Amino acid sequence: MFNKMMGRTRYVVCRIMLHLGGSEVAPILGLLNRLGREAYDSDGDLHSMGEGLTELCQTLLQNDTSWLSASNEGDAVWSEGEAGDYVNELFTDSAERFLSNPNYDSHSSNHEPLSIPVTQNIIVMITVAFEGEAPDIETDLSNVSALKNGLKALINLHYKHKLKAVQVHFSPAQLGDELTSDQLIQYYPELIPL
């Protein structure tokens, strides 16, 4: 209440990482690629990105039996510029992670093998910035019930038009790439078993 009187806006920037595993996770990779293409085609339109985030969160919630580990980080800041800098920092870090850069410019060639390995591991990295407060996101999400509440809170932020930035990275970035247990430990050391 005091912050509103001062005319200051509170921005929260956070990143949620979720590791899904097992033979059932491959279709999620297809969804992530489709949502990524739609985001690319929409030129990063925030409403389209929020719709995609909502669909992704609902899919993750429906597949909670595949959740293996998670982590989250973030901070509240009082300027839009500072929030933007933090979003860019998390974006760059996520993009530099192992196998997290799909190429939506290239079209698949006819020379792809008929059978491709199906990954047993997927990492989803969701970075958002929003205005105000969301206690269900601004907490430790390294247990299943907290993470469920956090994903539901992301959906609500979209419907309340509070989102200021949405970015999703995932690894492996395309069908046929595999993310091994050793690579998980090497490139995603902050993950905490759920």
The model's pTM: 0.88
As a whole number, mean pLDDT of residues 58-68 equals: 96
DSSP code at position 189? T
pLDDT for the residue numbered 57: 98
Q: How many residues does the chain have?
A: 194
Q: In whole angstroms, how far apart are CA 54 and each of 12, 115, 153, 188?
A: 18, 32, 10, 24
As a whole number, mean pLDDT of residues 30-56 equals: 92
Residue 165 has pLDDT above 90, yes or no: yes
- Domain ranges in the chain? 8-102+118-193
Q: Which runs of consecutive H residues, i.e. helices, occur in the chain?
A: 2-5, 26-41, 46-62, 80-95, 144-159, 181-187
Q: Place 93 in a pLDDT band, splitting at 50, 70 and 90.
A: very high
In SS3 terms, 26-55 reads as HHHHHHHHHHHHHHHHCCCCHHHHHHHHHH
* Pick from 60-74, 111-125, 135-149: least confident: 111-125
Q: Place 26 in a pLDDT band, splitting at 50, 70 and 90.
A: confident
Q: Does 108 or 146 have the greater pLDDT score? A: 146
Q: What are phi and psi of 118, to 5 degrees?
A: -100, 125
Residue 83 has pLDDT above 50, yes or no: yes
pLDDT for the residue numbered 2: 45
Within 10 A of 8 (CB to CB), how many other CB atoms are there?
A: 11
Q: Place 8 in a pLDDT band, splitting at 50, 70 and 90.
A: confident
As a whole number, mean pLDDT of residues 56-63 equals: 97
pLDDT for the residue numbered 7: 64
